[in-house]
Amino acid sequence: MAETPPTDLPEDDQNPDETPAEGIGDGPVIGGKVQDLAIERELADSYLTYAMSTIVDRALPDVRDGLKPSLRRILVAMNDLNLRPGSKHRKCAKIVGDTTGNYHPHGDQSVYAALVGMAQDWKMRHPMVDPQGNFGSVDPDPPAAMRYTEARMAAPAADMLEDLKLDTVDWQDNYDGVMQEPTVLPGKFPNLLVNGSLGIAVGMATSLAPHNLGEVCDAITAVVNNPDIELPELMQIIPGPDFPTGGTIMGRAGIAASYRTGRGRVTVRSKIHHETVGKQDRLVVTELPYQVSKVNGVIDKIVAMNKAGRLEDVADIVDESSNRGGMRMVIKLKRGASPEAVENQLYALTPLQSTFSMINIALVKGQPRTLSLRQMIDCYLDHRVEVIRRKTAFLLNKAQQEAHRIEGLIYAVCDIDEVIRLIRESTTRDEAIEKLMARGFQIPSSHPYAPKIPQRLLEVTAENETVLTRVQAEAIGRLQLIQLVGLEIEKLVNDYTKLVGEIEDLEDILANPKRVEAIILEQIADLKAKHANPRRTIIEDGEANDLDMAALTPVEQVVVTITHSGYVKRLPSAEYKTQGRGGKGVIGSKSKEDDFTEEVFVASTHDDLLCFTNTGRVFKLKVFNIPEAGRTSRGRAIVNMIKLQDGERVVEFMPIADFEKGEDFLLFATANGLVKRTALADYRNVNSSGLIALNLRDGDSLVGVKWVSEDDHILLGTASGMAIRFQAEDARAMGRNASGVKGIDLSKDDKVVGVIRCAPENNAADLLTVTENGYGKRTPLIEYLVQSEDGSTRPQGRGGKGRRDIQTTARNGNVVALRRITEADDLMLITVNGMIVRINAGTVRQTKRASAGVRVISLASGDKLVGVARVKDEDNQDDSGPSDNGSASTEDTESTDE
């Protein structure tokens, strides 16, 4: 029977007339009052606290040592028991008891399960625990009880704990504050990458794949030697996971995605081969996908599918696996069955083909983060640098303390008579210590022992007396009488000299990061030599260097710049912040004095860049293959990226997002006045050696390529100063190998020097025409339309003579270039002798068509103008994506028409 609560409260608290406060029970009692709390908020706060506790203290590994708290505490408990790799095995019950009693006060069964998991070689690529007894099997058989099994640390675990006592990591109170436990292990062994980890927290899960130790060591070495190494190069070293159970990974796209973003999925198949015994065909399974159970997973599923009539050709299944022979599961087939067909059915219907999700989540500075392959390697290296520096500082401090103590002993031996006198005159030990501390010691250069004293110490005491510290005085007090002989000075000097060398070496390690890197590389080489073994998992679909670059490259908007000299680069569009009118912008590139940015456009990294050359060929580059460079870098020469022939040059760059839009066409214009309109889709397949974009006739060359729609107009300008503007669809659609049709009827010795795309609804721009003698003019584009008597305008018909654009007199010379411009544009004028002059388009007077123009550049005697380019400033690029037609943004598309 329950006891009645006591009622003998203090008199002041007994108030029978007081009514309970309203809402009692709705909140905590604070200062005698009830506080109302919203249950939703209280539940949310409490659940968040629980979730973070689960994430940080149970489910997720630390990125530095790759261990969850329970696993780390088991290894620390084994280290306390001195269960090193060479020691005798101890009962697992003892290990579990010490772990739960000292560090991890949770159920012993959960701790034992974690201990067993670290010993099972089908779960861990390099087990941390060396087992003895029944630790279960992949069948799966359960392990024996902890009172029957024994264990000790495996060699990788010893490497994880190496230097633990040398102040290499931080320590914290254990659960009851009686002992100290490390917050992380020194972790020389790259456990997170090699053994991976699995864990389910609240609201998140982690699934880090195991890898081959030799490959991981090589990758770490590569990152140390080349901090700028890119992911494709790392994947040449680590092609993918290496599961303890082997198997075959199908494809590399999931691997690449995981290594780049921290998340990916891979398909893993069993290893199966065919055997024939008598007249019966058999399929023999020798390796299973990672985390797939043999009996509960595979055998039971095959039996179920056979009974359901979906695996009718399977006659029997026999498990011939053994500890000595390894995995061998024999699937016997019925007579007449096709082994290849049954194998494919097994992959489709059973766990013999499974998917492994790679979710690279680990704790970084106590917070869960999704990590790429490079980030995991960097975190490992950062931790090892800190461990080595802390170990070095600890050893340096100890060496300095010991050197300090020996210095005092050297002082004493060099003045032993005075030391003995001071001690004999003292009545107590403390008095002797105080007298020694008050006495100044000196070793002059004339001292008999001076030649034996290290120069470093002699310089300190040769002129000034040195006062002993308490540490030195107490060390002298502990000297035995036999140590006062003259030969003792040689031993002390040798010890001191050795210590000085160690101190200088340790100080050099702390001062020189390269020394730390060298130590890491030496340790990594040692790990590889001791523990590495051959890869078990095969990766199919190409060799290690056949990587899916698209899968490695994130989809993002970038700004591509191309200079007049042919240097190309890309930058993330975030480098250019959108600015208001009048902004000063940012430096887009630092070009040579004779170079300038001529093409700028915004594109996706997964877009294609078509490069059309004057010989009629086209090359295709993926934008992500264009090197990413800083805003002040020139980039890379385009001739190093595409295979141009002698005298061949690129006349048009065109970014493409989608080749499959049926309404999109490209219009080509040649120097001999031919034009050709071809569907964009005809240029979707371009190999690395280029493709014939149009069939040029002898003596002809490509002048320009424009992206046109049905309503666009095309304007051709010739060297003799003629121009024709006609509708783009007047040039009928042709195949890729066609030569084209007549765009303009040229006079003898005349040629086309420029092609402009004109949108009929936008005639606000001007046409700039410049001649070889430095004269030019700008004329509104609308003047190149034919004006009817009723005031309406229309383009000319294709193939005509055109209309006079500029007078090509002896003063002007022939036309060399045409550009569509506005008054705000800046222009670069280039001459034969290499002179480059930058002018504003507004300084060129606007005149009517057929005028003679004005001087735009003063040329030296014998010099000629050969070209004009509109300067493309990157300063105010925004991050607007591609337009609907798959090219650059509207502004960028317009700019390519020049």
Catalytic residue numbers read: 148
- At 538, list the tokens: 């095969």
Q: Which residues of 145-165 are buried (b: 16+ CB within 10 A; e: fewer)?
A: ebeebbbbbbbbbbbbbbbbe
Phi, psi of 423 (to 5 degrees): -70, -40
430 burial type by CB count under 10 A (0-12 exposed, 13-18 middle, 19+ buried): exposed
Contact 106, 227 (CB under 8 A): no
Contact 77, 99 (CB under 8 A): yes
DSSP code for 846: B
Q: Centre a 10 Å sphere on the Cβ of residue 263 and count the other Cβ atoms it contains.
A: 16
Q: Is the peptide bond before 140 cis (omega within 30 degrees of 0)?
A: yes
Round to whole Å and give the CA distance between 215 and 63.
19
Please name the residues in contact with 819: beta carbons below 8 A apart, sequence gap of 6 or more. Answer: 754, 756, 767, 768, 827, 868, 869, 870, 898
625 burial type by CB count under 10 A (0-12 exposed, 13-18 middle, 19+ buried): middle
- At 486, list the tokens: 């003259």
**Position 730, amino acid:** D
Please name the residues in contact with 796: beta carbons below 8 A apart, sequence gap of 6 or more. Answer: 724, 725, 726, 786, 802, 803
Q: Where are the beta strands (DSSP E) in 709-765?
A: 713-718, 722-727, 741-742, 752-758
SS3 annotation, 210-241: CCCHHHHHHHHHHHHHCCCCCHHHHHHHCCCC
Round to whole Å and give the CA distance between 686 and 608.
10
SS3 339: helix
* Cα 480 to chain centroid, rounded: 62
Q: In what helix (H) or strand (E) does residue 609 lie, and over which residues does it extend?
A: strand 608-613
Phi, psi of 757 (to 5 degrees): -95, 130
Contact 840, 856 (CB under 8 A): no
DSSP code for 362: E
By C-alpha distance, which of 691, 695, 692 is closest to 672?
A: 695
State the Rg of the chain over Cα. Answer: 41
CA distances from 248 to 121, 360, 877 (A): 18, 21, 47
Helices (H), 738-837: none
Q: Centre a 10 Å sphere on the Cβ of residue 349 and count the other Cβ atoms it contains.
A: 17
CA distances from 867 to 718, 843, 873, 895 (A): 14, 18, 19, 17
Q: Is the peptide bond before 627 cis (omega within 30 degrees of 0)?
A: no
Please name the residues in contact with 309: beta carbons below 8 A apart, sequence gap of 6 or more. Answer: none
Please name the residues in contact with 856: beta carbons below 8 A apart, sequence gap of 6 or more. Answer: 770, 774, 775, 776, 829, 839, 843, 844
- At 559, list the tokens: 């700004």
